[in-house]
Amino acid sequence: MAYKIDTDTCINCGLCISECPTDAISEGYDAHAIASDACIDCGACVSVCPQECISAE
């Protein structure tokens, strides 16, 4: 089960990108997105998100 980012609460800070070991997170215009096929469910991104907007699908 891949993680997802709530685009309503994401502030596009980018902290999650540097934590992702598989480069599954990409920067969007207003929010970041996680590629479900590349996500390995490690949860590294969850622990650094200041908005707590990353959760399991």
- In this prediction, residue 1 has a pLDDT band, given cuts at 50, 70 and 90, of confident
pTM: 0.86
Q: What pLDDT, on the 0 to 100 scale, is given for residue 45?
A: 96
Number of domains in the chain: 1
Q: What pLDDT, on the 0 to 100 scale, is given for residue 42?
A: 95
CATH of the domain at 40: 3.30.70.20
Convert the pLDDT of each residue in 9-44 to its tens digit: 999 999 999 999 999 999 988 899 999 999 999 999
The range of the structural domain enclosing residue 24 comes to 3-56
**C-alpha 3: how far from chain center:** 7
DSSP letter, residue 32: E
Q: Count CA atoms within 13 Å of residue 23 on its CB side.
A: 0
Q: What pLDDT, on the 0 to 100 scale, is given for residue 28?
A: 85
Burial class (CB in 10 A: 0-12, 13-18, 19+), 31: middle
